[in-house]
Structure 1
Amino acid sequence: MSIAKTDDGVNLHYEITGSGTPIIFVHEFAGDMRSWEGQVRHFGRWYSCVTFNARGYPPSDVPADPNMYSQARAVEDVIAVMDHAGIDRAHIVGLSMGGFAVLHLGLSYPDRAMSLCVAGAGYGAEPGRKTLFQKESETTAAFLSANSMEAFAAKYSVGPARLPFKASDPRGFAEFQQQLAEHSALGLANTQLGVQRLRPSLYDLKDDLSKLTVPTLILNGDVDTSCLEPGLMLKAAIPSAALSVVPNCGHTINLEAADEFNRIVGEFIVQAESGRWPVRRSTNRSDTITGMVL
């Protein structure tokens, strides 16, 4: 395991598996680098797979100050790992919190991304739900501060969008739940307060998204209802975006539907590398229903 030091002095632990074109995997709030094992075992056959633990997730450092956590900092941390590993450009894949980081990286550092896979991203982004999401982030942080990680894992892991995972793969779900219980309560609380609570709504980024031309895949499970509408918005806003929805699947797409996730992402990466991934032109849009003017 290697260590990348950020410009604000935080040590981030990362691993590289395989060789070839690099793929960076950015984990969700309830996961860590271990969450990508199914992807590393698959893509490590042909690519150089990079996984890392975000700040707040041991063995990466856990800053005590919540002000050291933010959406912008999450992007800079991905760049720090890439720089330390000597990676100029990579395919970048993120789930949920990691998906937000990947999308923001594409906006801030488009020259560093060969492609962007934004999976399960949308919580709190819907118009009119930002205040509720912020309150829930504060409640989650308070619960983490007052209870054990075991109690938090037992409660947080059974949200509606995670129940399909529990139903379809009880053993895999139990492993996910156990790994969540091993996280740092301080790190998760600060991540909720600094990253989740304060990140901008995706809907406020439409103008910036309309200029994004990096090949982009929006990937959601159809049971993950909080991400479906934002996913459609992202598809419409980003000229280089395609949308894929996995049936009967919840939030943890890469775990509960690993084979399908790997297939979709693998085909996307091949198309992005071929240089034939399409970018929609404004002429592709029409004010008519059929697109035909008689």
Structure 2
Amino acid sequence: MSTFVVIHAFGSGPRAWQPQIDALGAEHRIVAPELPGHGDTPGPLTLDRATAAIGEVIAAEPEPVHLVGISGGGTVALLTALAVQERLAGLVVSGASARPGGTDAVQRAVMGLLPAGVLVGMFKGMYSGGRPEYLVTAVEDLRRAGRQTLLAGLRELGGVDLLPRLGEIGVPTLVLSGEKDKPNIAHARQIAAAVPGAELRLVPDVGHLWNLEQPELFSRTLTDFAAKTRR
């Protein structure tokens, strides 16, 4: 049995991992913590607070874990790996960034002008993986996180540059990006090039939060990786 600690996207929540919990929970331990500023967990959301919270979760596990992060949760996973990699059996990040992209500042500025309802409308399709059965949960989680947390997450990602430190990661690492997630493919290539021995995999026909879009494929990707890296 492997233990997976899975980190949700900023503006999402632990329920976004329900397909993986359902698929893998009978044979593996799935721990899905809630990041600061989301749901019932007090804010504010900062990368330092998020990393500390995930580090505490990992420290409570009796065996090394496979750490999985998606979107902003992937950046938290990279930071956590740098802090507690001796407690990791493997690292999987998807749709993550380690350094701001050229258009990120413009995106933050535009989103900062939009009311909460408009932001929810913009993100609900992506945060449900484009699947109607996950839409209600996505909207609820976005509203519970709120505009302040969404914008805080974007500000945090815009102010971090992890690339010079990623060479310190010494655990087996899988870097993923959906081929439809065009803005994040360059980020994935950067991360994979910077982490020693990392595997880069561009996944056909999926977008950003593809653990919901193609849950069976995502779950199988995790278990295959864990089987190769179990220690």
TM interval, short-chain normalised: 0.7 to 0.9
TM-score using structure 2 length: 0.87
**Aligned pairs for 1:1-294 within 5 A:** 20-58=1-39, 60-63=40-43, 68-83=44-59, 85-87=60-62, 89-122=64-97, 125-126=100-101, 128-139=102-113, 142-144=114-116, 147=117, 152-158=119-125, 162=126, 165-166=129-130, 173-183=131-141, 185=143, 187-199=145-157, 204-273=161-230
TM-score using structure 1 length: 0.70
Matched positions, count: 231
C-alpha separation in 2, matches of 1:188 and 1:89: 33
Post-superposition offset of 1:46: 2.1
C-alpha separation in 2, matches of 1:87 and 1:197: 34
Over the residues paired in the alignment, what is the CA RMSD in angstroms? 2.6
C-alpha separation in 2, matches of 1:265 and 1:155: 29
Amino acid at match of 1:154: G
Post-superposition offset of 1:163: 10
Post-superposition offset of 1:105: 0.7
Q: 1:192 is paired with a residue of what secondary structure? A: helix
* Structure 1 contact 152–181 (Cα < 8 Å) conserved: no
Residues 154-201 of structure 1, C-alpha deviation per residue, up to 9 Å, x if partnerless? 33224xxx39943xxxxxx22332112223647332323333212356
Change beyond 3 A, Cα 1:165–1:27: closer
Q: How many percent of aligned residue pairs carry the same amino acid?
A: 24
C-alpha separation in 2, matches of 1:109 and 1:249: 31
Post-superposition offset of 1:213: 1.3
* Structure 2 contact 2–230 (Cα < 8 Å) conserved: no
C-alpha separation in 2, matches of 1:258 and 1:40: 10
Structure of larger gyration radius: 1
Post-superposition offset of 1:137: 4.8
Indicate the structure with greater helix content: 2
Gap regions ≥5 residues in structure 2: none
